[in-house]
Amino acid sequence: MTKTLTARRRWVAVLAGGFCGTITRYLLSLLIQGWLGKGWPFDILLINLIGALLLACVTTLADATFLVGPTRRLFINVGFLGAYTTFSSLALGDVLLLAGQHWLPAILYLACSLFGGIGAVVLGDLLGRAILRAGKHAATPNAKKQEASQLGDKTVLPDHVDIDDDVLLPEYDRKGLL
């Protein structure tokens, strides 16, 4: 039996993740600005770098089907991290520096964001791989495909923690719980 995510489950996962990501970003931004001030967009830079690292790590784990199933992936990657990190904030921070004619800080901020983001993604991927090695879940892709094909579903694996995907919300039909 192939289990697919309903539209309602996908929407709720993204909305709930987005709400949590937005609140986390706001509170962390206030905290960072309190520590480092508002003269340079430290808060946006740090939040985006942390988000890039987490996105790469979670994606690596999700691709290996380790603790991150379809609903969790939507909640974390699309909802939470989508709201937590935003390109528009990065662009605004840089434009504000340029508008104040702070050329060197603007270029430095843009370079730190770009190269730091790439570095954070690489580190996040390495972290995800290290977690997989430590958890001994680094099976070969062919073995995973063979296990999946035995189930008749190429996306859901038998050893997947989130195979039923019931973590966030049970599904209901008109007659009750599915």
pLDDT tens-digit profile of 89-145?
Answer: 888 888 989 999 999 999 999 999 999 999 999 999 999 999 888 876 445 444 444
pLDDT band, residue 66 (cuts 50/70/90): low
pLDDT the model gives residue 175: 53
The torsion angles phi and psi of 173, rounded to 5 degrees, stand at: -115, -170
Torsion angle of C-alpha atoms 59, 25, 41, 48, degrees rounded to 10: 0
What are the distances in angstroms from CA 109 to CA 10, 47, 77, 91, 105?
35, 13, 25, 10, 6
What are the distances in angstroms from CA 85 to CA 18, 22, 61, 131, 167?
10, 9, 20, 23, 24
pLDDT the model gives residue 149: 40
What average pLDDT score do residues 156-171 get?
45
DSSP 3-state assignment of 80? helix
Average model confidence (pLDDT) for the chain? Answer: 79
Enter the pTM of the model.
Answer: 0.71
For residues 163 and 175, the model is more confident at: 175
Residues 19-59: tens digit of each pLDDT: 999 999 999 999 999 999 988 899 999 999 999 999 999 98
Phi-psi label, residue 80: left if phi above 0, alpha if psi -120 to 50, beta otherwise: alpha
